Amino acid sequence: MAIRQLPVLPARASEPQISPDYVRISMASAIALRMRSGRFSRDFDFGGINLLLNYDEGCLSDCGYCGLARTRPGAYEDKSFIRVEWPLVRTDDLVDRMARHEATLTRLCISMVTHGHAYRDTCDITRRIAERVSTPLSILVAPPTLNRERLETFKALGVDMIGIGLDAVTEDLFRHIRTDVPAGGLKWEKYWEVVTDAREIFGPWKVNVHTLVGLGETDRDLIEIFLALRDRQIFSYLFCFNPEPDSRMADLAKSPLTRWRRVQLAKHLIESEGYDLSQFDFGPDGALARLRADQASVQAVVDQGVAFVTNGCPGEKGEPGCTRPYGSYRPSEPFRDYPFMPGPGDLAEIRQQIRLDEVLG
């Protein structure tokens, strides 16, 4: 992604630059709304706008892999989130831009952080957006700040979908990486309580759970959670661990591309082709060892390319709405997920990376 840096609606020196009057937006969102000048290395339509709450003290959680972690060195305003720059903008100016470019927008998403004012400020920002923009709106929630009544308020305000960033897919990993840390306190049980309440309030396929590949889980752990979520009509959105410099997990390598591609494929086969656990064999270490399936049918799924497109909330008509370019990889690295349908050259690379013959037969 080539970017020519321009100032982003500079703050007035006399006012605090915190939510709800200020938010951060992803660099891709800033480009889409003409708030930054730049272009992507490959042309594609992008209309998913991602907002992030902003506070002087930042997020009060301390997840071991997160760029916003409380104990990660540096000032909060200089920290990155999923290794992407998030320029600070005035909320009302942002809503003006959204209204101006509404015809090109496909999905809006507010990302909360763990902070005492996050719920109040998210409601405020949601109202400002809903008054002027009709693009479907999601909230990536901070479960410690919520209860059932607050989720019901989000729905009443016009929120369309709820996302829960579980990330670590087993309780042991969750406790080790997100709870037993300097500023921990996140609760596995609370996250699943919010998942259950959100599913009951928002309905089928209106809730998503973020699952992260590369934190120490096995392929079996991932496939079991994909199945459990599918059976509850909840989306699983797949992310690849991408080590943040100076975080506690900065030295942990990301998953090999072959493993990542196979996990992407397995999730797609579960969600879109109806596969169940009996169709997956695992080695002693929990790694995917064999797919019990017809080779031609699986190859046809790979050739469609859909399995390798970025998971994100859909647009109003079901089309990809939020595609988060470069969320799981750097622009200089091979695509991990594609913010567009893979072309013939991309599919040729995917076939080489996935080595399907090793797990079929």
Structure-token pair, residue 356: 């399907």
- Per-residue model confidence (pLDDT) at position 6: 41
Structural domain span for residue 145 = 2-254
264 belongs to a structural domain: no
Domain count along the chain: 1
56 belongs to a structural domain: yes
**Residue 312: CB atoms within 10 Å:** 24
Give the helix/strand (H/E) hosting 110: strand 107-111
pLDDT in tens, the chain (361 residues): 444 444 445 445 567 899 999 999 998 899 999 999 877 668 778 899 999 999 998 899 999 998 888 888 877 666 666 556 789 999 999 999 999 999 999 999 999 999 999 999 999 999 999 999 999 999 999 999 999 999 999 999 999 999 999 999 999 999 999 988 877 889 999 999 999 999 999 999 999 999 999 999 999 999 999 999 999 999 999 999 988 888 899 999 999 999 999 999 999 999 999 999 999 999 999 999 999 999 999 999 999 999 999 999 999 999 989 988 777 777 778 899 999 999 999 999 999 999 999 999 7
**3-state SS class at 84:** strand
38 belongs to a structural domain: yes
Q: How far apart are CA 53 and CA 20, in angstroms?
A: 7
- Per-residue model confidence (pLDDT) at position 14: 62
Structure-token pair, residue 358: 């090793």
- Per-residue model confidence (pLDDT) at position 104: 95
Contact 291, 361 (CB under 8 A): no
345 belongs to a structural domain: no
- Per-residue model confidence (pLDDT) at position 105: 97
Contacts of residue 113, Cβ cutoff 8 Å, sequence gap at least 6? 52, 53, 55, 58, 59, 60, 61, 68, 142
How wide is the angle at C-alpha 109 spanned by C-alphas 152 and 227, nearest 5°?
A: 75
Q: How far apart are CA 114 and CA 119, in angstroms?
A: 9
Assign residue 120 the CATH number of its domain: 3.20.20.70
208 belongs to a structural domain: yes
- Per-residue model confidence (pLDDT) at position 5: 42
Contact 108, 33 (CB under 8 A): no
Strand order in the sheet with 22-25: 88-90, 22-25, 48-53, 107-111, 137-141, 161-167, 207-213, 235-240
46 belongs to a structural domain: yes
36 belongs to a structural domain: yes
- Per-residue model confidence (pLDDT) at position 70: 84
211 belongs to a structural domain: yes
- Per-residue model confidence (pLDDT) at position 7: 43
